């Protein structure tokens, strides 16, 4: 294992596990500044995790083993996601593969586990949020598959390490397909992180909540695990976006440096989008995602029409 590979693996694990809560913290604090508030420090998610970790979980009456197991399953799905998405184009050395389409299944596992737990507790708010989440997933999975396809066009593979390598350098930005793919990926990031205009992470109002709904009944360590998973989802999405849709050099060490700059920059972008965009009506969200899928298809057409490859 070369030095760069070891460093990338270390960043992948440390970033995904320890730095992940910093990502939503950064977005929230940047958003507060943009809106003229002082806001909490970017370290606030860590404080919340510490507070929740000290408390025992309380579970609703009548909930069974499925409800109890769900936070652990969600954490496992996201932890494996962290292990599968490489940083700086170095294929991770722990034998879990690094395939883009595997992410589809892992994210679906997290979603399904929470939805099944919602049925187990029978909580109306949890079911409402889960039903909405699953509805968005219909167009969301199609969008993610097409985004992967457009990213795979130059590489000819769905290996995330190779996809990142194919997106390196300046030449790829001359392809309209790459711009379309980046746009589609941006929508995927908004969906997976549950940010405005798709979902509002600050609200607990039942009329609008999506991702917060299934978390409503959880408390204590259960909630801490789920909040870590939400933060890891932010990290995975942004690491993916940084690898595929942010200009970066080919070599590993400079790429790590670019990543260190790109993640805070993408947090800022998310904060700007949140400040500038109101939340969409629930029923309009799938249309936005289908539009993203259409953009990805346009990218495919331009790839074949343009280069004749």
Partner 1 sequence: MTVQAAGALLLGAAGAAVLLGGHAVGGAFSGEIGPAVGVDPLSGAFLVVIGVVGAPACLFARGYLVPDRAGRAVGALTGPFLLALASVVVARDATTFLGGWELMTAIPAAAVLIARRQPAVRRTVFEYLAITHLGGVGVWLALLLAAEQGSLGGTSGPGGATRAALLALALVGFGTKAGLVPFHAWLPRTHPVAPAHLSALMSGVMTTVAVYGLVRTLRDWAGPPSEAAGLVLLALGAVSALGGALWAAVQRDLKRLLAFSTIENIGIVAAALGAWLVLAAHGENGWAAIALGAALLHAIVHAVAKGLLFLGAGALERAVGDLALDRLGGLLRRLPWSGGAMLAGLIALAGVPPLAGFVSEWLVLRSVLEVPLSGPLGPALAGALVLAALAAAAALGAYAAVAVAGLVLLGPPRRPECAEASEAAAPMRSALLALAGIVLALGAAPGVPVDVLADLAPGGLEGAGVAGLVVPGTGRLPALALAGALVAVALVARLLRGTPAPPAPVWVCGQARSPRLGWTAAGFTKPLRLTLDALLRPAREVEVIAAGGLVQEVRHRAEVPHPVEAYVYRPVARAALAAAEVARRIQSGSLRAYVAWLIGLVLALLVAVRLWGGA
Which residues in 159-178 contact partner 1 (CB under 8 A)? 159-162
Residue 73, H or E segment: helix 65-84
Q: Residue from 199, 212, 217, 243 that binds partner 1 (CB under 8 A)?
A: 217
Q: Residue from 26, 30, 49, 137 that binds partner 1 (CB under 8 A)?
A: 137
Q: Residue from 138, 250, 257, 261 that binds partner 1 (CB under 8 A)?
A: 138
Do 163 and 100 touch, CB atoms closer than 8 A? yes
Size of the site for partner 1 (CB under 8 A): 91
Q: Which residues contact 164 (CB under 8 A, 6 or more apart)?
A: 86, 88, 89, 243, 244, 248
Rounded Cα distance, 160 and 152, in Å: 9
**For the CA atoms of the chain, what is the radius of gyration?**
19
Interface with partner 1, residue 221, by CB under 8 A = yes
Name residues contacting partner 1, limited to 101-130 (CB under 8 A): 101-102, 104-106, 108-109, 111-112, 115-116, 118-125, 127, 130
Do 140 and 111 touch, CB atoms closer than 8 A? no
Cis peptide before 185 (omega within 30 of 0): no
Stretch in the footprint of partner 1 (CB under 8 A) among 73-81, 170-178, 241-249, 264-272: 73-81
Do 164 and 215 touch, CB atoms closer than 8 A? no
Stretch in the footprint of partner 1 (CB under 8 A) among 2-10, 30-38, 99-107, 179-187: 99-107
Stretch in the footprint of partner 1 (CB under 8 A) among 20-28, 165-173, 176-184, 301-309: 301-309
- The distance from CA 269 to its chain's CA centroid, rounded to whole angstroms, is 14
For the CB of residue 270, give the shortest distance to partner 1 in the complex, in Å. 24
Q: Residue from 3, 36, 62, 171 that binds partner 1 (CB under 8 A)?
A: 62
């Amino acid at each position: 294992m070369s030095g760069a590979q070891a460093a990338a693996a270390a960043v992948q694990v440390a970033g995904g596990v320890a730095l992940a809560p910093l990502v939503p913290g950064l977005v929230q604090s940047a958003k507060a500044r943009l809106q003229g508030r002082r806001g909490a420090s970017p370290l606030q998610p860590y404080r919340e995790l510490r507070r929740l970790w000290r408390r025992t979980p309380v579970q609703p009456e009548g909930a069974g083993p499925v409800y109890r197991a769900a936070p652990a399953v969600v954490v496992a799905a996201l932890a494996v996601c962290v292990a599968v998405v490489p940083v700086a184009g170095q294929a991770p050395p722990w034998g879990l593969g690094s395939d883009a389409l595997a992410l589809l299944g892992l994210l679906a596992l997290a979603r399904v586990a929470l939805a099944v737990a919602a049925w187990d507790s029978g909580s109306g708010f949890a079911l409402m949020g889960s039903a909405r989440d699953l509805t968005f997933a219909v167009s969301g999975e199609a969008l993610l598959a097409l985004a992967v396809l457009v990213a795979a066009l130059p590489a000819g593979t769905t290996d995330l390490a190779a996809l990142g390598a194919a997106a390196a350098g300046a030449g790829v930005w001359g392809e309209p397909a790459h711009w379309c793919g980046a746009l589609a990926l941006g929508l995927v990031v908004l969906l997976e992180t549950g940010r405005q205009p798709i979902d509002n992470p600050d609200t607990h109002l039942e009329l609008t909540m999506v991702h917060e709904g299934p978390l409503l009944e959880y408390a204590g360590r259960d909630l801490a695990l789920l909040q870590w998973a939400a933060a890891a989802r932010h990290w995975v999405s942004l690491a993916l976006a940084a690898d595929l849709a942010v200009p970066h050099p080919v070599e590993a060490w400079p790429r790590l440096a670019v990543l260190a700059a790109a993640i805070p920059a993408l947090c800022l972008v998310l904060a700007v989008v949140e400040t500038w965009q109101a939340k969409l009506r629930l029923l309009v969200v799938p249309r936005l995602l289908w539009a993203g899928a259409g953009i990805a298809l346009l990218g495919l057409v331009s790839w074949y029409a343009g280069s004749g490859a």
